[in-house]
């Protein structure tokens, strides 16, 4: 029987961030009581597009609506002593804080972790900043692009004959936000073991550097600097290949990591593709041979003749039936209309703006007893400010 109680229903979270709302969203989606603490002009996420139609007001950002469904909003002017006192009272009754400012700034406001933890010893405070709380670059400003560049990911992204690129979608910010949510939950669960809360320091640069995976090992162990390859295949059979209606990603290799070279060659031969027989020669089972430019070009020409008359979904289904690692490269419209994702109910209602229903990604996980569910619409700026003020005076919880 499914439990009507949300998994994180007893956790209280304050989000003090401008653009890292995904961290607290992960809590809100599982039932935590999440409150956005916003300046009088609203957080930066309210001004980030895309927007609903021609509107550009603080409630029209689709980005904000997605990140903030199920949360509350309280306006706090930190230049105002009365508001700072209000925030301190809110922190007294909070389990987790997600922040994006240096502790030096919070200490100057009288809101540093050590200062507030005297009021609330069980408080978990997670701070996500471009370069962490210490070190020579700690005070430097930064955003997603700065993190992707300084962490080394941009160097690996793009085309071999052009400069580095930063991928679309605030990858550094979302990755850091996920770490913030996970580590905050771990610290929350660890309070019994530690006897209280703790401070968590997350550097976006370090999160991105972690994502470069084997690049440091290639450099230190082999003296090889990994570089961006763009659409160029790593070797014959491993890369992006055109087909009738777009592109497919193919990973076929019998030597080294991965499997499927023999299966791909058999598929091509059975389909009567010209010159496919030559790919069965012994030298084609050597990775170094397949990495030579002339051999990558030869395979591409053979596979292109095969794929040109086939759609990417057909190639995917036929390849999967042959145990070949091949997949269609979907654009955003194709992903949104994907039959499997929709059958699983992944895209769902995430809120509304003045009666206009918004649909977007749900959760990439399923809990059998305490399921994920989209929250109520995102809050209007300061919508719960007065209710929260009154609750702190009366000692009653805000519904």
Residue 374 is predicted with a pLDDT of: 81
Residue 391 is predicted with a pLDDT of: 86
- Domains delineated in the chain: 12-212+344-394 (3.40.50.10540), 238-329 (3.30.1540.10)
Residue 160 is predicted with a pLDDT of: 81
Residue closest to 246 by CA, chosen among 313, 297, 300, 321: 313
Residue 219 is predicted with a pLDDT of: 80
Q: How many CA atoms lie within 13 A of 360 on its CB side?
A: 17
Residue 353 is predicted with a pLDDT of: 85
pLDDT in tens, the chain (399 residues): 445 678 999 999 999 999 999 999 999 999 999 999 999 999 999 999 999 988 888 889 999 999 999 999 999 999 999 999 999 999 999 999 999 999 999 999 999 999 999 999 999 999 999 999 999 999 999 999 999 999 999 998 888 888 898 888 899 999 999 999 999 999 999 998 999 999 999 999 999 999 887 877 878 888 878 877 776 788 999 999 999 999 999 998 765 444 689 999 999 999 999 999 999 999 998 889 999 999 999 999 999 999 999 999 999 999 999 999 999 999 999 999 999 999 999 999 888 888 888 888 999 998 989 988 887 889 999 999 999 998 887 666 665
Residue 216 is predicted with a pLDDT of: 79
Query: Distance (Å, rounded) from C-alpha 309 to C-alpha 27?
Result: 47
List Cβ neighbours of 153 (8 Å cut-off, separation of 6 or more): 166, 171, 172, 208, 209, 211, 212
Contact (Cβ atoms closer than 8 angstroms) between residue 151 and residue 211: yes
Q: Assign 3-class secondary structure to the chain.
A: CCCCCCCCCCCEEEECCCCCHHHHHHHHCCCCEEEEEECCCCCHHHHCCCECCCCCCCCCEHHHHHHHCCCEEEECCCCCHHHHHHHHHHHHCCCEEEECCCHHHHHHCCCCHHHHHCCCCCCEEEEEECCCCCCCCCCCCCCHHHHHHHCCCHHHCECCCCCECCCCCCHHHHHHHHHHHHHHHHHHHCHHHHCCCCEEEEEHHHHHHHCCCCHHHHHHHHCCCCCCCCCCCCECCEEEEEECCEEEEEECCCCCCCCCHHHHHHHHHHCCCCCHHHHHCHHHHCHHHHCCHHHHHHHHHHHHHHHCCCCHHHHHHHHHHCCCEEEECCCHHHHHCCHHHHHCCCEEEEEEECCEEEEEECCCCCCCCCCCCCCCCCCCCCCCHHHHHHHHHHCCCCC
Residue 280 is predicted with a pLDDT of: 92
């Amino acid at each position: 029987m499914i439990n009507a109680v949300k998994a994180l229903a007893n956790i209280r979270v304050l989000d003090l961030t401008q653009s890292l709302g995904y961290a607290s969203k992960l809590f809100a989606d599982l039932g935590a009581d999440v409150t956005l603490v916003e300046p009088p002009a609203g957080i930066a996420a309210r001004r980030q597009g895309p927007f609903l139609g021609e509107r550009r007001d603080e409630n029209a950002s689709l980005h904000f609506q997605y990140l903030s469904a199920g949360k509350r909003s309280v306006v706090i002017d930190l230049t105002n002593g009365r508001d700072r006192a209000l925030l301190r009272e809110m922190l007294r009754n909070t389990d987790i804080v997600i922040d994006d400012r240096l502790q030096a700034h919070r200490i100057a406001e009288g809101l540093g972790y050590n200062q507030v933890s005297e009021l609330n010893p069980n408080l978990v405070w997670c701070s996500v900043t471009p370069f962490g709380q210490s070190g020579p670059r700690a005070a430097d400003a930064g955003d997603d692009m700065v993190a992707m560049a300084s962490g080394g990911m941009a160097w690996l992204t793009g085309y071999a004959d052009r400069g580095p690129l930063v991928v679309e979608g605030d990858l550094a910010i979302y990755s850091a936000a996920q770490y913030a949510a996970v580590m905050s939950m771990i610290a929350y669960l660890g309070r019994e073991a530690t006897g209280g809360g703790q401070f968590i320091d997350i550097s976006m640069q370090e999160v991105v550097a972690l994502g470069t995976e084997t690049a440091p090992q290639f450099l230190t162990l082999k003296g090889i600097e990994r570089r961006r390859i763009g659409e160029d295949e790593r070797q014959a059979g491993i890369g992006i290949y055109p087909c009738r209606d777009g592109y497919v990603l193919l990973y076929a290799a019998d030597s080294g990591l991965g499997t499927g070279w023999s299966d791909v060659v058999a598929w091509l031969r059975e389909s009567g593709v010209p010159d496919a027989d030559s790919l069965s020669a012994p030298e084609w089972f050597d990775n170094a041979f397949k990495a030579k430019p002339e051999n990558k070009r030869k395979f591409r020409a053979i596979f292109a003749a095969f794929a040109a008359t086939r759609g990417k979904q057909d190639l995917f289904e036929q390849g999967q039936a042959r145990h070949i690692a091949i997949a269609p490269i979907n654009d955003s419209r194709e992903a949104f209309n994907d039959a499997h994702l929709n059958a699983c109910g992944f895209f769902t209602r995430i809120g509304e703006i003045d009666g206009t229903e918004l649909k977007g990604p749900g959760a990439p996980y399923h809990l059998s007893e305490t399921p994920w569910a989209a929250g109520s619409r995102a809050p209007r700026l300061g919508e719960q400010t007065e209710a929260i003020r009154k609750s702190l005076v009366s000692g009653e919880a805000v519904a």
